Amino acid sequence: ATTAEGTQTETAGKDGMYIPETTTKNQAAVLAEVTPAVESAEKNFNADNIQARNLIIWDRMGEEHIMGQTQLAFYYALQEMSGGKITADLYLSGEVDVDATNLPEAYSVTNVGRYQLELAEQNGYAKGAVFGLPYVFQNREHFWAFADSELGKTVMDEINNGGFACHVLSYIEEGARSYFTTAAHPVDSYTDLAGLKLRVQSTDIYNDMVRAIGASPTTMAWSEVYTGLSSGVVDGADNPYTGYNSSMLFEVAPNIYEDEHIWGANLLTISTSIWDSLNDDEKAMFEAAAQIASDYNRKHIQEVETAIKENIVSEHGVTIKTPSSEEKQKMVELCQPMYEKFAADYLGFIDEIKALAQ
């Protein structure tokens, strides 16, 4: 039953389908979309072989963020396909304090989460450096062409056979990273970024990328970025629109330079310890749920991003500057030496990815 406030309580759905308890309109909306997807999915597993288990599902951006919604879609699909045998504790707003760049640490605390492919190199997957390099993907269509390709499947297989702490179930994405700056530092051209202090993640690639455009990198936890921008510790940072909006950075950094330097290639993952404990029917169910979540993500990310852009411009006075193709090419050229430095063994692989551009 669904209340007037959008709260859905546990009940039996069509054909005995298990409908989980939802407590917000956002959760109810995700569930409403997932339910028919589950009903129409071909079930290639025996539900009698599904064992009851409780998962810990983690993210840091909140359930209103596309990544939180994607993980809700995954969870609800699991609940319904398992007849309610799969339950979970949801920590989608960073309540569980884990180092998301350290896979063993993160998956010793959590069971399910999304992982940024661009950070995989830090955890021993050397080819992962490719996805941290700027301007490997041209646009959203290019990323999904890769995800659908044999190259994309190969990357998943390599990670899953590499002895890492997590098992990849599907590709998801949160949009491209672009630069944003405080009101004191409007940006009309990439040259305006020169000399600014830009927050970066703690990776050599990010540090070099910022230096390549003449800026000064400052390593800072994402949770500290709002304060860092408002206090002047940093002049700018980068993130997809979804992260920028969910952290309300339009209040302290109203200038966006939409160069889309790194595409937010993410992986929906489960801890290897959980995966290895599953039987074949359970693995098939988890893979089917992950595909539903990936489809949900792929369907909604563009509309979410478009709505964010319209809102931050009209309601918060944000200025968005899109570089010309000539300016974009200059930025690509400035960053080109990074390819040799960080991915010299994978230049052919990069060429194969770029050849997938529409």
Sequence length of the chain is 358
Q: State the pLDDT at residue 108.
A: 87
**Could you tell me the pLDDT band of residue 3, with boundaries at 50, 70 and 90?**
very low
Contact 175, 245 (CB under 8 A): no
- Tell me the percentage of the chain whose pLDDT exceeds 90: 73
**Could you tell me the pLDDT band of residue 20, with boundaries at 50, 70 and 90?**
low
- The mean-pLDDT minimum among 162-166, 191-195, 320-324 falls in 162-166
CA distance 38 to 45: 13
- The mean-pLDDT minimum among 16-25, 75-84, 152-161, 271-280 falls in 16-25
DSSP secondary structure letter of residue 134: T
pLDDT digits (tens, 9 = 90+) for 137-153: 999 999 999 999 999 99
pLDDT digits (tens, 9 = 90+) for 79-132: 999 999 999 999 998 888 777 667 788 888 899 998 888 888 888 899 999 999
Q: State the pLDDT at residue 120.
A: 84
* Helix H or strand E segment including 172: strand 166-181
- Comparing CA positions, the residue from 152, 149, 239, 172 lying closest to residue 199 is 239
**Could you tell me the pLDDT band of residue 358, with boundaries at 50, 70 and 90?**
low
- Considering only residues 20 and 272, tell me which one the structure prediction assigns the higher pLDDT: 272
Rounded average pLDDT over 291-301: 96
Q: State the pLDDT at residue 282.
A: 96
Mean pLDDT of the chain: 90
Rounded average pLDDT over 11-30: 63
* Helix H or strand E segment including 239: strand 236-239
pLDDT digits (tens, 9 = 90+) for 170-184: 999 999 999 999 999
Q: State the pLDDT at residue 308.
A: 96
Contact 265, 118 (CB under 8 A): yes
**Could you tell me the pLDDT band of residue 40, with boundaries at 50, 70 and 90?**
confident
